[in-house]
């Protein structure tokens, strides 16, 4: 395995007195799709939110251990969380475009980070929308509200919005759970294309989806990483009984 | 542990039962086709030929069930291996039954010609019958070790076949009058050896399904290595 | 398929329940209609006022005693407020000196009430014939009561209007808005978006919720103690009243603003934070615009409530006889509800209809404010 993009070691997390993650060690390969699977409450989403410090805002949340992005600890005091989030973008479970125009949705983050001047705006919007394979569908209505799009289009708009700041890593928290199968397929197709440029880490409840789109899969259970490996191996011959039971539908 | 969906468990079970039935009939066909040759029993040979249809029907039915399982439940891990190997095993069983039919047809054509003990064909018959019996047992019990034994036994069958060929060749050279008889015997030996190969295929799939190890095309030593790793 | 008895019972229970609800609504509606019919019925006559045509003789004696300007038999029929203006009129128009003009004068409230046929008009018997005769001759006529909207309070009922009170109300309202909206909205934003969730903020929250339920008169006492006694704000002034009402409105605004902020979906905040927006940017760029209609309606309803409030103003001295519209926020002022209250305790019959008219004006203003709130909400509402 080449040098990992994100390397998590001995990561523990508490909500108040409740330990939710019990020492996670996992490396995420660059420009690969890694799927995090496991039953609800197993800590996969929590881990995902550790990777861009979305847990910072939760009162009483405390972590131990390290998360290295390109070898640099993201929880180090000299790392700014705002800057970190321009490197590690996030796409959420429910499509959540801002109730503004498509154009404004895309341009918002580059603008607040001062990444773009007036001349470059149109180009940046087009590039981001093209990369998210939604340009052809929205190019004639860039100034209509993003919320008027269909669910799948909204989610691709959110992905476009995320890649507009040119992050290295995209975190996806069950990006298709609110979408119909065709919209889901489009997102999966998009993920396949995006992994040429980005490292993608996605949480999913849909095991077939994990099997379809990911290169590596990590199985979590009760706040522990039970098994991590190549997706094809993990789904045909898992090494751990718990993984076996989970992916064959025998618990969870 | 039972599956969350009991229907999935039921259908997997049905798959297993159907293959078991197919096994039983195939084994009977092999046994009786050989018997029909050795005991010159034309009626028995005819019954074997008739029964081949049952095996063919079973093959189609099992394939259908496996497809349904894949569509409805998208099996993964051990379930995936079970369904996948089931389709493979069924193919081998069908071939075995075909070969048994061929033997039975030979029995009809040989017209009361009994293979003497002068060759190792009777030994091959014994080895094959054990092999087939063990394969079925290994399948029923998901017994990796027994399946391994089946693979090992095949060496014996191969050796006997070689031996048999050598003997028959020598005889044909020495006694040209026996050539047609010897060729018939060679054919029978060859079919027995082929059936043994299919048994080995099935044993390999049994090992794959229950231990997840891919053991096809491995030598006995390599096979031992792979399975020893498992125990550690 | 026939219905089972149990199912039938359930449907009957449904119908019964619907009927109870409908009865309750009809009952409430009846009260409302009765109230409106009563108020409007009483108020409408107040918008008409009797005027009387009398000969006015301008001469030297008028300057000293305006009563002499008109013949004795008419003196009791004309409003004193008309007579008082004669001296000024003469000064402004000296050419009128030593002439006698037939002029339309504001009639006395007794004449007015007598002609409107109200009980307790107080017109003496000896004048009644004259008045009736004059009315038939067209020498007394009813005109639209512009005084009601252009004058302040007056002891002469026919001359009393709501203008001073309305001006006072506007001033008080402006002060209340200027103080309570910024403080309330900022407090709510801090509590909802920035404050850590600890015992201290929880205590503040509980207290704010309790404050909204405190009897409003206590705010008056608080205003009296703090603004008038400690800070030296003039008593009865619009400033004192406005500040007191601001105190009273604060909890309402804070609570409604927090509710509006809370109704902004968490996913929008997540999206903005996920893109690297700072807390302030999340609030200003995303949360506030979405919460704006809610904040607006909450504030308007809180202010409408403040506008109809009298109890705290009683304590800070705004329930007083204030004939003139206040010139500045430090002048003594009164407000519409206080004016209504003052009139309602007058004994003269003409004030009774003015009370109703005052209520009608107040209700119109409040309903307009509520309508404005609904309109703004619809206009700014973002759908997604």
Of A83, A85, A147, the CB nearest to C274: A85
Residue A211 touches partner B, C-beta closer than 8 Å: yes
In a domain, B202, yes or no: yes
In a domain, A149, yes or no: yes
Low-confidence residues in chain C, pLDDT < 70: 1, 382-384
At residue B217's C-alpha, the angle toward residues B213 and B220, to 5°, is: 80
DSSP string, C260-327: HHHTS-HHHHHHHHHTT--HHHIIIIIIHHHHHHHHHHHHHHHHHHHHT--HHHHHTT-SS---S--S
In a domain, C156, yes or no: no
Domain count, chain C: 3
In a domain, B220, yes or no: yes
Residue C199 touches partner A, C-beta closer than 8 Å: no
Say whether both C349 and C215 belong to one domain. Answer: yes
Per-residue pLDDT band for B125 (boundaries 50, 70, 90) equals very high
Joined together, the tokens standing for residue C234 give 């003039």
What is the radius of gyration, based on Cα positions, of chain B?
Answer: 19
In terms of Cβ atoms closer than 10 Å to its own Cβ (0-12, 13-18, 19+), residue B85 is buried
Tally Cβ neighbours within 10 Å of residue A194: 22
Chains in contact with chain A (at least 3 beta-carbon pairs closer than 8 A): B, C
Say whether both C124 and C61 belong to one domain. Answer: yes
Q: What is the mean pLDDT of residues B128-133?
A: 96
Residue A236 touches partner B, C-beta closer than 8 Å: yes
Of C268, C285, C382, the CB nearest to A96: C268
What was the ipTM of the complex prediction? 0.90
Mean pLDDT computed over every residue of chain C = 88
Contact flag B81-A238 (C-beta cutoff 8 Å) = no
Contact flag A92-C274 (C-beta cutoff 8 Å) = yes
Question: Can you tell me the distance from the alpha carbon of C280 to that of C8, in angstroms, rounded to the nearest whole number?
Answer: 59
How many Cβ contacts (< 8 angstroms) between chains A and B?
Answer: 39
Domain CATH code at residue A243: 3.40.50.300
Q: What is the pLDDT of residues B34-79, one digit of tens each?
A: 999 888 888 999 999 999 999 999 999 999 999 999 998 889 889 9
Say whether both C71 and C117 belong to one domain. Answer: yes
Whether the per-residue pLDDT at A91 is higher than 90: the answer is yes
- Give the domain extent around A184: 4-247
Of residues B1 and B95, the one with the higher pLDDT is: B95
Contact flag A250-B2 (C-beta cutoff 8 Å) = yes
Whether the per-residue pLDDT at B232 is higher than 50: the answer is no
Chains in contact with chain B (at least 3 beta-carbon pairs closer than 8 A): A
Domain count, chain A: 1
Say whether both C86 and C189 belong to one domain. Answer: no
- For residue A54, how many C-alpha atoms fall within 13 Å in the half-sphere facing its CB? 25
The model's pTM is 0.78
State which residue of chain A sits closest to C290, comparing Cα positions. A99
In a domain, A172, yes or no: yes
Say whether both C245 and C322 belong to one domain. Answer: yes
In a domain, C158, yes or no: no
Q: What is the pLDDT of residues C346-364, one digit of tens each?
A: 888 888 889 999 999 999 9
Contact flag A251-B76 (C-beta cutoff 8 Å) = no
Residue A249 touches partner B, C-beta closer than 8 Å: yes
- Give the domain extent around B46: 6-231
Mean pLDDT computed over every residue of chain B = 90
Domain count, chain B: 1
Beta-strand ranges (E) seen in chain A are 4-15, 18-29, 33-37, 61-69, 72-73, 88-91, 169-173, 199-203, 216-221, 224-230
In a domain, C136, yes or no: yes
In a domain, A252, yes or no: no
Say whether both C52 and C176 belong to one domain. Answer: no
Per-residue pLDDT band for B224 (boundaries 50, 70, 90) equals confident
Say whether both C222 and C316 belong to one domain. Answer: yes
Question: Which of B77, B78, B80 would you mutate first to test chain A, the one with the most A CBs within 10 A?
Answer: B77
State which residue of chain C sits closest to A94, comparing Cα positions. C267
B73: chain A residues, CB-CB within 8 Å = 249
Of A82, A147, A162, the CB nearest to C384: A147
- Give the domain extent around C32: 5-44
Domain CATH code at residue B125: 1.20.58.220
A250: chain B residues, CB-CB within 8 Å = 1-4
State which residue of chain B sits closest to A232, comparing Cα positions. B77
How many Cβ contacts (< 8 angstroms) between chains A and C?
Answer: 64
In a domain, C157, yes or no: no
B228 to chain A, closest Cα gap in Å? 16
Q: What is the mean pLDDT of residues A73-99?
A: 92
Question: Can you tell me the distance from the alpha carbon of C356 to that of C44, in angstroms, rounded to the nearest whole number?
Answer: 8
Contact flag A113-C384 (C-beta cutoff 8 Å) = no
In a domain, B101, yes or no: yes
Bridge partners of residue A229, in order along the sequence: A217
CA B111 vs CA B38, B45, B124, B181: distances in Å = 12, 12, 22, 11
């Amino acid at each position: 395995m080449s040098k990992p993009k994100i390397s998590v070691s001995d990561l523990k997390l508490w909500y108040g007195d409740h330990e939710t993650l019990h020492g996670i060690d996992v490396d995420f390969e660059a420009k690969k799709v890694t799927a995090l699977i496991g039953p609800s409450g197993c800590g996969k989403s929590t881990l995902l939110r550790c990777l861009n410090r979305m847990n910072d805002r939760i009162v009483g949340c405390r972590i131990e251990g390290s998360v290295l992005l390109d070898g640099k600890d993201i929880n180090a005091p000299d790392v700014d969380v705002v800057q970190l989030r321009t490197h590690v973008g996030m796409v959420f479970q429910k499509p959540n475009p801002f109730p503004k125009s498509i154009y404004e949705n895309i341009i918002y983050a580059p603008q607040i980070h001062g990444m773009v001047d007036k001349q470059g705006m149109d180009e940046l919007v087009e590039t981001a929308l093209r990369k998210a394979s939604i340009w052809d569908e929205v190019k004639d209505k860039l100034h209509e509200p993003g919320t008027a799009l269909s669910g799948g289009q909204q989610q691709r708009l959110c992905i476009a919005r995320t890649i507009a700041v040119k992050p290295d890593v995209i975190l996806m928290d069950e990006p298709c759970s609110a979408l119909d199968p065709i919209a889901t397929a489009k997102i999966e197709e998009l993920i396949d294309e995006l992994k040429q440029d980005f490292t993608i880490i996605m949480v999913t409840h849909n095991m077939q989806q994990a099997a379809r789109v990911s290169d590596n899969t990590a199985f979590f259970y009760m706040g522990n990483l039970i098994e991590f490996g190549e997706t094809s191996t993990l789904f045909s011959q898992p090494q751990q009984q718990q993984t076996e039971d989970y992916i064959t539908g025998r618990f969870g | 542990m039972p599956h969350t969906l009991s229907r999935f468990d039921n259908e997997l079970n049905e798959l297993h039962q159907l293959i078991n039935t197919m096994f039983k009939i195939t084994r009977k066909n092999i046994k009786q086709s050989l018997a029909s040759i050795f005991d010159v029993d034309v009626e028995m040979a005819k019954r074997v030929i008739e029964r081949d249809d049952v095996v063919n029907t079973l093959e189609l039915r099992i394939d259908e069930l496996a497809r349904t399982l894949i569509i409805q439940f998208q099996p993964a891990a051990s379930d995936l291996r079970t369904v996948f190997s089931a389709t493979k095993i069924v193919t081998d069983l069908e071939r075995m039954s075909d070969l048994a039919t061929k033997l039975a047809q030979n029995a009809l054509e040989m017209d009361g010609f009994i293979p003497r003990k002068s060759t190792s064909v009777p030994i091959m018959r014994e080895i094959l019958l054990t092999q087939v019996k063990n394969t079925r047992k290994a399948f029923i019990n998901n017994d990796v070790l027994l399946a391994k034994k089946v693979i090992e036994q095949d060496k014996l069958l191969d050796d006997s076949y070689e031996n048999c060929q050598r003997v028959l060749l020598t005889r044909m050279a020495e006694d040209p009058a026996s050539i047609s008889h010897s060729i018939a015997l060679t054919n029978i030996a060859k079919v027995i050896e082929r059936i043994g190969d299919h048994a080995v295929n099935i044993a390999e799939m049994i090992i794959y399904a229950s231990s997840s190890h891919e053991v096809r095309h491995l030598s006995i030593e390599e096979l031992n290595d792979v399975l020893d790793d498992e125990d550690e | 398929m026939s219905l089972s008895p149990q199912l039938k019972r359930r449907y009957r229970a449904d119908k019964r329940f619907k009927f109870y609800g409908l009865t309750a609504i009809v009952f409430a509606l009846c009260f409302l209609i009765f109230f409106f019919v009563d108020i409007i019925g009483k108020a409408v006559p107040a918008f008409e006022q009797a005027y009387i045509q009398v000969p006015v003789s301008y001469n030297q004696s008028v300057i000293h005693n305006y009563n002499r300007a008109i013949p004795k038999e008419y003196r009791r029929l004309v409003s004193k407020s008309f007579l008082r203006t004669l001296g000024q009129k003469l000064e402004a128009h000296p050419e009128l000196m030593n002439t006698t003009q037939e002029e339309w004068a504001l009639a006395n409230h007794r004449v007015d009430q007598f002609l409107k046929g109200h009980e307790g008009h107080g017109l003496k018997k000896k004048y009644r014939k004259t008045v009736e005769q004059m009315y038939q001759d067209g020498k007394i006529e009813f005109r639209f009561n512009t005084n009601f909207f252009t004058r302040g309070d007056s002891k002469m009922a026919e001359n009393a209007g709501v203008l001073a009170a309305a001006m006072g109300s506007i001033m008080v309202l402006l002060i209340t808005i200027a103080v309570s909206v910024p403080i309330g909205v900022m407090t709510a934003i801090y509590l909802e978006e920035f404050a850590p969730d600890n015992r201290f903020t929880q205590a503040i929250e509980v207290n704010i919720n309790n404050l909204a339920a405190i009897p409003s008169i206590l705010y008056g006492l608080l205003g009296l103690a703090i603004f008038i006694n400690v800070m030296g704000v003039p008593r009865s002034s619009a400033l004192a009243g406005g500040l007191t009402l601001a105190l009273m409105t604060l909890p309402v605004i804070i609570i409604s603003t927090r509710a509006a902020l809370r109704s902004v979906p968490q996913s929008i905040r997540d999206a903005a934070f996920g893109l690297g927006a700072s807390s302030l940017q999340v609030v200003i760029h995303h949360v506030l615009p979405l919460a704006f209609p809610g904040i607006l309606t909450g504030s308007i309803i809180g202010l409408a409530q403040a506008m109809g409030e009298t109890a705290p103003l009683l304590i800070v001295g705004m329930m007083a006889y204030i004939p003139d519209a206040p010139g500045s926020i430090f002048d003594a002022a009164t407000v519409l509800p206080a004016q209504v209250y003052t009139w309602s305790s007058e004994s003269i019959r003409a004030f009774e209809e003015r009370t109703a008219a005052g209520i009608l004006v107040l209700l119109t203003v409040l309903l307009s404010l509520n309508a404005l709130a609904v309109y703004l909400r619809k206009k700014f509402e973002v759908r997604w």
